[in-house]
Amino acid sequence: MKRTTEIITINSIDQIPSLEEIRKIPRTKTLKIIFENSVQNQRESIGQNFKKQLQGFQVGIHLLNPEINIAKLITDQEIEEHQLFFENCAKDYRELGEKLIFKLAEQLKITINSDCPWITFNQFLKNNKQAGKFEEWRYFFHGFHCGFENKKTGQMIEVPLVFGLEFGDLDPYFFTNFIKSTPHYKPLPMKIYEDYADGVRINEKMLSLGKFEHINSNFKNHTGIVVTDREKIEIKEYIPEEQTAKRKFSFWKFTRRKF
């Protein structure tokens, strides 16, 4: 199901829809406000005010075209009503991610570093061997993830590699893509139109409900979000060998100081 777009062209500020009118827009519709020459210089300030005032909406101020695009995001009520669905999706994500990454390791004849899987798979990025196929899946290593796509069903999942043996981190964009591409979830009990922005709202609401929780990653100051109801896995901080060596050097240098 695609959204329809309502287009409004304005020549003066008083033609801009009120906040009350905009809030009544259904999620099935987007609003495009086109600014004529006489009011183009006020587009940025108006757009920024919309962003502050319209909580639960995505407001896009076009960089080139004289327009502002507004869309209502998935609501707290929708998420709360379907919290069990999102919780089960998160559990499925975690289970499938773990299954695929270990199958791939078996295919590649490697042993996953249990403390930090990224150390194991990073070699394929360095050797330009980051893509391939196994069984009915395509895979692609990139950054801190390995993406999988099912050649038959189109299902997509991005498996995180920097949370130890915890493979259920729910990046908002990747999570909604997983939900929308999983055949047995269809038809979805609600619509997800904005993959990233709706995903952020889903995660935030599920966190507030206690269904999701934050976890630390192998890298300092980097965190993730996982389903709360799961087997907890210890995640260790990754310290590169050169830093470890430097720390040891500094320690021995300190102990040899003369007092």
**E strand intervals along 110-171:** 131-134, 137-142, 145-150, 156-160
Q: What pLDDT is stored for residue 259 in this prediction?
A: 38
DSSP annotation of 165: B
For 92-119, what is each residue's pLDDT tens digit? 999 999 999 999 999 999 999 999 999 9
State yes or no: pLDDT of 254 exceeds 50.
no
Mean pLDDT of the region 1-25? 94
- Is a pLDDT exceeding 60 seen at residue 141? yes
Give the model's pLDDT for residue 255: 43
Of 13-27, 117-131, 227-241, the one with minimum mean pLDDT is: 117-131
List, in order, residues 6 or more apart from 25 with CB less than 8 Å away: 6, 31, 70, 72
- Structure confidence by residue, pLDDT tens digits, 155-169: 999 999 999 999 999
Mean pLDDT, rounded, of the chain: 92
With a cut of 90, say whether residue 142 has pLDDT above it. yes
CB 61 within 8 A of CB 93: no
Question: Can you give the pLDDT at residue 243?
Answer: 52
